Amino acid sequence: MEAPLLTPQDLIRPWRRATVVVGAIAALELVLLVGAGVRLIAKPLAHEIKHQAISAAAPRADAVTQSKQLKQAIRRTKAPPGKARPRNHVKIMVFNGNGRAGAAGSAAGRLQRLGYVIAGTTNAARQDYATSVVMYVPGFRAEAIRLAKDIGVRVVGPLDGISKPSLDGGELAVIVGA
């Protein structure tokens, strides 16, 4: 019996199968190599990111100096007040910080009845103060604390956000809140 001759398609088919098998093996190797590369790169990268985060979170020398200055300022503001000047020797500028017409004027009248000298009344830069505030220029902390007690204000602090010329010669500022 004679064997038939092989056709050209019969000669090509084994090569197709071999190509598909080799391609699948190459794809699997590629996936494995990418996974190994990610693992090799990711670990040192994560370590470096952690190191940078720790060094960024560590306190710097200037931050330590700032915190010392802040602690000193807090101690000064919490220090017991000295002897307060008489009420008629203290000038007060009254600011309306709640937006209601006449609030600064009525507060100024109340302060005059208590014996304080009123430097003037005007509107504050903002009209949304939730509570009244007493502020003082350096050297008038004792007077500010006494004024706050006189009018029932709980917030007392050094002059902040108001320029000294806007006090019209006053040493204390009262911002009337809601």
73-127 confidence digits (pLDDT tens)? 666 666 556 788 888 888 999 999 988 989 999 999 999 999 999 999 999 888 8
CATH topology for 87-176 is Alpha-Beta Plaits (3.30.70)
The rounded distance, in Å, linking the Cα atoms of 64 and 119 is 41
Q: Which of 69, 76, 70 is nearest to 141 (CA)?
A: 76
The rounded distance, in Å, linking the Cα atoms of 178 and 175 is 10
**Count of positions (residues) in the chain:** 178
H/E stretch holding 35 reads: helix 8-57
Do 118 and 94 form a contact (C-beta atoms < 8 A)? yes
- 3-state SS, residue 67: helix
Interval 120-144 mean pLDDT: 89
Q: Specify the pLDDT at position 107.
A: 92
| Amino acid found at 7 | T
Do 93 and 119 form a contact (C-beta atoms < 8 A)? yes
Q: Specify the pLDDT at position 4.
A: 66
| Weakest mean pLDDT among 34-43, 69-78, 128-137, 167-176 | 69-78
Cross-strand partners of 117: 91
Strands (E) located in 43-98:
91-96
Strand order in the sheet with 155-158: 117-123, 91-96, 172-176, 133-136, 155-158
Q: Which of 58, 151, 64 is nearest to 106 (CA)?
A: 151
